């Protein structure tokens, strides 16, 4: 795992290297870059895959107290990340709230992005998304200490599998979700970051409605990948997003909830490879 010092703080990232097309993969709330381990295993032979761990509550390096942890602030962090690594013609991929970040980056110009992939993600008025996202944002109103106390329940698998937690996000990824909980359960400064981030998300619920107005101006290739069994991100949102992109394409994946990188990693890697390289 590499690290880079950005204006917002220290960001860890995986970088497979290589000379193939560059893919940057963004995760959602209370997750880290390991969300993408499965797809990266299928893509790294012919792509350079980069997966940063963003300050979304499962990060391990706390941000400064004055860091902007709103979604627009984190979109600027991703843009700075691309600049600092001098990445060009990037395929920018986002799942869950990572897909919301991609939409905000498109709104802001996406100068280094050559194509985008939205994978079952927040969109339109589904922000924060579903019962899961709304519950999480409500917990962000607690003090960091009370938030940490509340999150202690997530040590139990039976709680992680509830619809208000990860139960409607992934069919098969409980081991990953348990790992993602460790920083917020053990590091007070990460709990501080998480509550600040969640409060910022809750204060800007119309952000993606506004961002969607800019999607028709994105005249580069766009792939929308959606889980047919998604219970948090409505499947009709996948079709609506596809229609907004002038060069949009929709692929639906069976036997998966929102976190397709956990539930169907090999199939997602195949779909992304077909999009970037034009092969099956």
Tally the C-alpha atoms within 13 A of residue 205's C-alpha that lie toward its C-beta: 13
Pairing of strands 9-15, 48-53: antiparallel
Residue written as token pair 């580069």: 220
Concatenating the DSSP letter of every residue in 147-183 gives HHHHHGGGGSHHHHTSTTTTTTT-SS-HHHHHHHTHH
Residues 6+ apart with CB under 8 A from 225: 117, 118, 119, 120, 238, 250, 251, 252, 253, 260, 268, 271, 272
CATH numeric code, 2-127+205-277: 3.40.50.1820
Tell me the C-alpha distance between 151 and 149, whole Å.
5
Neighbours of 177 (CB within 10 A): 23
- Provide the pLDDT for residue 280: 63
- Provide the pLDDT for residue 278: 85
- For residue 275, the SS3 value is helix
Q: Please choose, from the candidates 69, 74, 78, the residue with its C-alpha nearest in 3D space to the C-alpha of residue 25.
A: 78
- Quote the DSSP letter at residue 67: -
Tell me the C-alpha distance between 104 and 229, whole Å.
26
- Quote the DSSP letter at residue 8: T
Could you tell me how many helices (H) and strands (E) the chain has, helices first? 13, 8
- Quote the DSSP letter at residue 217: G
> Are 194 and 182 a contacting pair, CB within 8 Å?
no
pTM score, whole prediction: 0.97
> Are 79 and 8 a contacting pair, CB within 8 Å?
no
Splitting the chain (280 residues) into consecutive groups of 10 residues, what average pLDDT does each group show? 95 96 98 98 97 98 96 97 97 98 96 97 96 95 96 96 96 97 97 97 94 98 97 97 98 98 98 90
Tell me the C-alpha distance between 270 and 280, whole Å.
7
């Amino acid at each position: 795992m590499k690290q880079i010092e950005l204006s917002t703080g220290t960001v860890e990232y995986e970088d497979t290297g290589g000379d193939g097309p560059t893919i940057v993969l963004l995760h959602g709330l209370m997750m880290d870059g390991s969300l993408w381990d499965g797809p990266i295993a299928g893509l790294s032979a012919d792509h350079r895959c980069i997966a940063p761990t963003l300050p979304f509550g499962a990060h391990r390096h706390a941000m400064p107290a004055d860091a902007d942890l709103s979604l627009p602030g984190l979109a600027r962090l991703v843009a700075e990340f691309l600049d600092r690594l001098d990445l060009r013609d990037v395929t920018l991929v986002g799942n869950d709230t990572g897909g919301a970040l991609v939409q905000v980056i498109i709104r802001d110009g996406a100068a280094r992005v050559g194509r985008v992939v939205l994978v079952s993600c927040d969109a339109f008025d589904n922000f924060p998304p579903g019962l899961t996202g709304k519950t999480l944002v409500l917990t962000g109103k607690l003090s960091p200490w009370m938030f940490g106390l509340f999150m202690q329940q997530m040590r139990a698998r039976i709680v992680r599998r509830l619809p208000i937690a990860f139960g409607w996000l992934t069919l098969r990824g409980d081991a990953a979700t348990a790992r993602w909980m460790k920083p917020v359960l053990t590091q007070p400064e990460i709990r501080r970051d998480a509550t600040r981030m969640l409060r910022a998300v809750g204060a800007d619920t119309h952000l993606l409605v506004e961002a969607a107005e800019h999607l028709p101006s994105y005249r580069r290739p766009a792939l929308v990948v959606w889980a047919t069994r998604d219970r948090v991100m409505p499947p009709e949102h996948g079709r609506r997003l596809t229609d907004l992109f002038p060069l949009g394409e929709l692929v639906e994946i069976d036997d998966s909830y929102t976190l397709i990188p956990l539930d169907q990693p090999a199939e997602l890697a195949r779909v992304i490879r077909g999009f970037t390289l034009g092969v099956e």
